[in-house]
Chain A
Amino acid sequence: MMGTELEALTMLYPPLLVFAAALLVVVLPRIVGYTLGALSLFGVLAIALFVPDGSHLAGTFLGFEVAPFYVDDFSRLVGIGLGFLGAFAVIYAYSSEAPRVTAAFALAYVSSAIGAVFAGDWLTLVFMWEIMALTSTLVVWHYGGDAVRAGYRYAIAHGIGGSLVLFAVAAQYAATDTFSMVGPDGEMLGIAAGVPALLAVLGIGVNVAFVGFHTWLPDTYPRPHFAASVFLAAFTTKTSALILFRAFPEGNLYLAYMGGLMAVYGVCFALLQHDMRALLSYHIQAQLGYMVAGIGIGTTIGIAGAMGHLFNNVLYKSLLFMAVGVIIYRTGENDLYKLGGLWREMPITAVAFLIGALSITAVPGFSGFISKGMVLDAASGYFGGPEYQALYWLLFIGAVGTFLSFIKLGYYAFLHGPAQYTVRDAKTGQTVAMFSVGGACLLLGLPALGWPVFTDLLPLVDGTGFIGTEGPETLNPYSPSHLWDAAVLLTVSVIGFKLIRKPLSKIDLPDPAFVLNPATFYLGRGSMLAVTGTYAAVDRAAVGAVRRCYWAGSHPTLAVDEVARRLPDSLVEVDERHPTNGGRPSTIHLRASIGLIILLVTLVLTVVLWLLL
């Protein structure tokens, strides 16, 4: 009985559920619409929790076999995270007075992201991927003002990335003759080596903000409505990280080091920011660095750690965006250096922020500690090989930088000096959202009780045990050495912040990658001019040729006359034309006389006989 009900659950296609809510939000009264939106996402959460493993909807799309709804441990984990966070993000948005249209776009965006998460084949994925790019652009655009131009740049970046993924999927089909992501036994097929893999890594690289491909991220996320930022921060990048794993289930050393670079690059530029959401945006890149590193390492603990970090990141990064959003909501200020002392004014927000910050910085007792620890372990000497030693240190530096920048954010927003504003604290809805998400961060990281629940959710991990390269292993995040590491990190960071606080506030170093923006602009403009110029030239030539042919066709005698006139006189002598009948050209007289024809017959016969005999 239970089985059939679960079967029935499989028939509920989650993205459709959310998309229906997106449509309803526009037309229904605000409270009803938002409630439905949140409920639809709780529905996604329930479906992700209870639909049995390996179940999928199969069908044909454009004449190809597809599996648009495929559930395994990976998509289940990400589905749970996105469904849970999404529901509270809707509640937060309701309470933050986000416009209904923004919420509708955001829900459509969420729906496409969930569609991408549950995609069991590359065709569905690429479809959802493009819709995700479109809907997220609309979320940004709808805010207007500065967001429009940033949204335009965002659209270009994702247009290029999306096209690369599309080509990669086409090349994948050409190479393997199937769109399937997973084999019949649930094993990951990955993307074929060579051209498909190259295209895929570049295309997905845009979405997971590889260094150099990341400019859209800190450029766009700080600009729209702060409630929209909560959605944006959670969905695109995390979904794409899952897809990166689907494409490269075996891992790749270069990929792993790209992750390390992202972690360091992200935190460095995060440290330099004083727009709060820009700072958090760079942290998205840094955190993605850990996921990419874990996926790149490709061992069981690396992948499990990456997935766990993905899940946690959905929660605490959104929580941080929510907390920062409340500050912006109440003060209207984005700049850190113009804030300060807010903990007295808005203690609830400060606590929420603290939970998020402690999670992201991986302080023991919070969920980030578990997953970041797993990624670091995967790279460290015990689980990882010597080739990952440098990566470990990159990730370690990233961890220090994370500490520093969140000390900075917390210090300038909540502690530094007296309060600049007299404002009220978070609204009820915001508070509920923040503490629900924050509570999850706390619960899933609790020593002894919480963390095994979390690790049990992870793919490739059973309870707390997993199969390492050298046989069964057991996770032990609260081992003395892990705690010692955390203590070292914290100490180094606090001392470090004391030292660099003053110089840091004076540095204003722009991200060198932003050179991409003007470069893209001029490249685009140049190629556009070149294309239109070439097109115009070809068009002119073609039209000219057609016109001349048409003229020759409609005035054949004039044309013959014209040609004859241009030949040297020794060949053809041309009489001056004397039009006598109103300019009407005379006909050409080409009548052969009988004698001439007979002569020609003789000649032809001679030639034929000569050739044949």
Chain B
Amino acid sequence: MSEEIGSVLPILLVAAPILAATLPLIFGLRLERTGWSVALVTCAGTFLASLSLATTVFGDATHVLVIHELGGFARPVGIELVADEFSTLIVLLVTGVSLAVLAYTRVGGPRGNTFYSGYLLLVGGLLGLSLTGDVFNMFVFLEIVGLGTYALVASGDGPESAVAALKYLIVGTVGASLYLLGVGFLFMATGTLNMLDLQTQVEAAGYDNTLVVAGFAFIFVGFAIKVAQWPLHGWQPDAYQHAPDGVTPLVAALVSTVSAYALGRVLFTVFTVDFVTATPYASEIIVAVGATSVVAGSVLAVIQYDVKRMLAYSSVSQFGLIVAAYGIATETAFVGAVIHLLGHGLLKAGLFLAVGVVALGYGARTVGEYAGLAHERPYVAGGMAVLLIALVGIPPSVGFIGKWYIALGAVQAEAWVVSAVIFLSTMLTLAYVARLLERMYFTPAHPLSDPHDTAHDHAPAAATDGGTDAANGGTTGRVTVAMLAVVVCIAVLAVLLGFAGGLFFELLEPFTAEVFN
């Protein structure tokens, strides 16, 4: 691939979905159902483009930066889109998952052209957030992602969805605003917004510069909200639980993941490892927030009844691990964090898709209602079981290698608190996973726990297509083979990637060598 085409790919990846987001609305003037097709074409295209980008970035063993200067303005004035080893992995995850989730939404809903506009807008925002090389531009993409997410969460049918979306809107905006304040402080200290330029300018300004440290504090707390770290996670369980089943996989797998990526990007590219280790309490604060989230998230997950909510709290806990790994700031822990970022995204996409399939085909929402699932719906139950076990971190699975590298990094850095927390989180994860598995595999379904008899505070997502009512959630007609295939494929992939620990390490090697030398 020639240099010119290669450097166009980043802008193509960002612009195409955002532009395509208008298409369903335009076509919608004439045609009823074009949204899904447009989304499919766009997502497939971006997926192929990201694969092509990956071949460029990973094709060379050296540190490769695919840089696109927007409008031809050079650094530091112009805005850049940058694809390196770290961001390309995230781009692959975003395009892959957004394509996979479409397999569910075609039949499982939500439907309508506006939904797919929001969907594409979100994908575009996520890709922009992943690829941007400019801190202010990052804020813009944070807001685009936020807008897309609010819209998608609100596309749920009941009032709960609206409330959840509103909560997310307000809290998320506060988070983005804190980030913007932090960027403002940095700009005051350095006079630049380009990340690579900031790296040198921050060092020049001095790591003990009050503006720089304050900027760090605001940015970190802003991201802590976006990544849903305890106790700032309040928006997240509601949003995940009340979003339509077709939306949750996308939001849960990608939104917080890309925010966590952005946090890592800012930490390691803008502030650098030296800043984290040199600033008193910086490392400690990051590790403390992460470790607390791991424990609190796991405990909260254990006491949940609603499966989606349980998995939402599980995300709080798993992102806590990633943030704690950032705080350790060693190469091994960082690679672990990236692997866990990808692995967790994949697992949660698969799990929430499975939850959607179960809700659609079996009508089960709570842990109790999952009784007998393995007998009644063996495929989805099997896929879900594999994904849950991978989430615990039992080898061979992608969940294991992520935790393994984080634990290894923690031990190497003699961060015993993190080591203990990882052990504890594995136990607690096992607790809620075992609860669900036990229900699925060892408790027979009996009439008393029949899903349709129990009063529930939730509106089935299936109602959004308007053609059915909540009461016949038990029919299986609308679960398509494609949905099951996606769940099973993700489960298989989660296991296969369990053998790829060394591969990830090699792929990230050029980047980590640059960051941790």
Contacts and interface: CB of A to CB of B under 8 A. Distances in A.
Contacts of B455: 581
A598 B171 contact: yes
A549 B430 CA distance: 12
Interface stretch (B250-258, B300-308, B340-348): B300-308
A552 B302 CA distance: 9
Given A588-B303, A591-B238, A597-B171, A612 B282 contact: yes
Interface stretch (B25-33, B129-137, B187-195, B216-224): B216-224
Interface string A582-605: 101001101110101110110011
Interface stretch (B229-237, B349-357, B398-406): B229-237
A276 B448 CA distance: 82
Given A553-B432, A594-B167, A600-B231, A608 B303 contact: no
Given A553-B435, A591-B238, A612-B213, A601 B303 contact: no
A611 interface: yes
Interface string B149-187: 000000000000000001100110011001000000000
A52 interface: no
Nearest to B225: A601
A68 B280 CA distance: 65
Contacts of A560: 303
Contacts of A584: 368, 454
Determine the interface band of chain B, counting residues with CB < 8 A from chain A. 35 or more
B217 A608 contact: yes
A212 interface: no
A608 B431 contact: no
Determine the interface band of chain A, counting residues with CB < 8 A from chain B. 20 to 34
A594 B164 CA distance: 10
A176 interface: no
A479 interface: no
B303 A557 contact: yes
Contacts of B171: 594, 597-598, 601
| A549, A594, A608, A609, most chain B CB atoms within 10 A | A608
A592 B234 CA distance: 6
Nearest to A591: B238
Nearest to B170: A594
A481 interface: no
A531 B496 CA distance: 44
Contact of A613 (B174, B175, B213, B231): B213
B231 A587 contact: no
A553 B302 CA distance: 6
B214 interface: yes
B416 interface: no
Nearest to B284: A611
Contacts of B302: 552-553, 556
A303 B280 CA distance: 74
| A560, A588, A601, most chain B CB atoms within 10 A | A601
A554 interface: yes
A612 B170 contact: no
Contact of A597 (B166, B217, B234, B304): B234
A609 B167 CA distance: 25
B174 A601 contact: yes
Where chain B touches its partner, the secondary structure class is helix
A594 B220 CA distance: 20
A611 B435 contact: no
B217 A612 contact: yes
Contacts of B306: 587
Nearest to B449: A584
A613 B217 CA distance: 9
Contacts of B214: 609, 612-613
B448 A582 contact: yes
Given A598-B170, A613-B213, A605 B218 contact: yes
B202 to A, nearest CB: 15
B56 to A, nearest CB: 39
B210 interface: yes
A587 B232 contact: no
Nearest to B167: A594
B303 A604 contact: no
Interface string A548-568: 010011101101100000000
A581 B448 CA distance: 11
B41 interface: no
A608 B327 CA distance: 14
Interface string B268-308: 00000000000111100100000000000000101111100
A605 B217 contact: yes
A59 B300 CA distance: 60
A612 B448 contact: no
A549 B368 CA distance: 18
A604 B231 contact: yes
B434 interface: yes
Contacts of A592: 234
A592 B171 CA distance: 12
B284 to A, nearest CB: 8
| B210, B281, B432, most chain A CB atoms within 10 A | B281
Contacts of A605: 178, 217-218, 221
B211 to A, nearest CB: 10
Contacts of B305: 587
Contacts of B167: 594, 597
A154 B69 CA distance: 88
Contact of A598 (B174, B279, B303, B454): B174
A607 to B, nearest CB: 8
Interface in A213-246: none
B267 to A, nearest CB: 14
Interface string A358-393: 000000000000000000000000000000000000
A612 B231 contact: no
Contacts of B218: 605
Interface string A114-134: 000000000000000000000
Nearest to A549: B431
Contacts of A598: 170-171, 174
A519 to B, nearest CB: 45
Contacts of B232: 597, 600-601, 604
Interface in A314-336: none
Contacts of A601: 171, 174-175, 178, 221, 225, 232
Contact of B221 (A556, A594, A608): A608
B285 A612 contact: yes
B186 to A, nearest CB: 14
Nearest to B221: A605
Given A581-B455, A604-B221, A609-B214, A590 B300 contact: yes
A552 B438 CA distance: 14
Nearest to A596: B234
B432 A600 contact: no
B174 A553 contact: no
Contacts of B216: 612
Interface string B448-459: 100000110000
A507 to B, nearest CB: 69
B313 to A, nearest CB: 10
A217 B234 CA distance: 78
6 contacts: A549-B431, A560-B303, A594-B166, A601-B232, A604-B231, A605-B218
Given A587-B306, A600-B234, 20 more contacts: A553-B435, A556-B302, A557-B303, A587-B305, A588-B303, A592-B234, A597-B235, A598-B170, A601-B178, A601-B225, A604-B224, A604-B232, A605-B217, A608-B221, A609-B214, A609-B217, A612-B213, A612-B217, A612-B279, A613-B213
Closest 10 CB pairs of A and B: A556-B303, A592-B234, A597-B234, A611-B281, A605-B221, A608-B217, A553-B431, A609-B217, A600-B231, A612-B213
Interface of B: 166-167, 170-171, 174-175, 178, 210, 213-214, 216-218, 220-221, 224-225, 231-232, 234-235, 237-238, 279-282, 285, 300, 302-306, 368, 431-432, 434-435, 438, 448, 454-455
Interface of A: 549, 552-554, 556-557, 559-560, 581-582, 584, 587-588, 590-592, 594, 596-598, 600-601, 604-605, 608-609, 611-613
